[in-house]
Amino acid sequence: MAREFLGGFELMVLLAVIKLGEEAYGVTVAQEIEASSGRTVAIGSLYLTLKRLEQKKLVTSRRGEPTAERGGRAKTHFRVTAKGVKAASHAQRTLMTLWGGVRQLQGEGA
C-alpha cells in the first residue's frame, strides 16, 4: 500500500502530540506549535488537522472530564499511535535525505 505523505502542518501537529504525550489536547498542542514556530494557530484549523490525522489512524482521541474553567466543556485528549510514530519517523528520514542534497542549505541548520 502506498505510504501517505504528511502535510507541513499535519507533521507539526503530529510532532506536538508525540512531544506532549498524555498532556496533548487542543490548547497545549496549539501552544506547543506557537512556541516552536512563532506561528499563530487557529483552534478550528488545528482540530480539522487532528480529525484528518485520526482518520489516517495516526492519532486516537478520548474525551476527558468537563472542567469549570472551560465552561463545563470536556477536553479531548489525543495520543499518537504506533502508525503515527512510524509516519513521523518516515517523514524525518525523507526530509533529512532531501536536506542533505540541497547544497544551498549545507551548514545552515547547525
* Residues found near another protein in the complex (CB under 8 A): 25-27, 30, 42-45, 47-48, 50-51, 61, 63, 66-76
Euclidean distance between CA atoms 18 and 41, whole angstroms: 18
Residue 76, amino acid: T
Q: Which three cell numbers stand for residue 96?
A: 533529512
Q: Closest separation between CB of residue 81 and another protein, Å?
A: 17
- In the numeric block, the cell 526530509 is attached to 95
Shortest Å, Cβ 19 to another protein: 18
**CB nearer another protein, residue 2 or residue 68:** 68
- Is the CB of 48 or the CB of 98 nearer to another protein? 48
Closest CA to 106 of 17, 96, 47, 3: 96
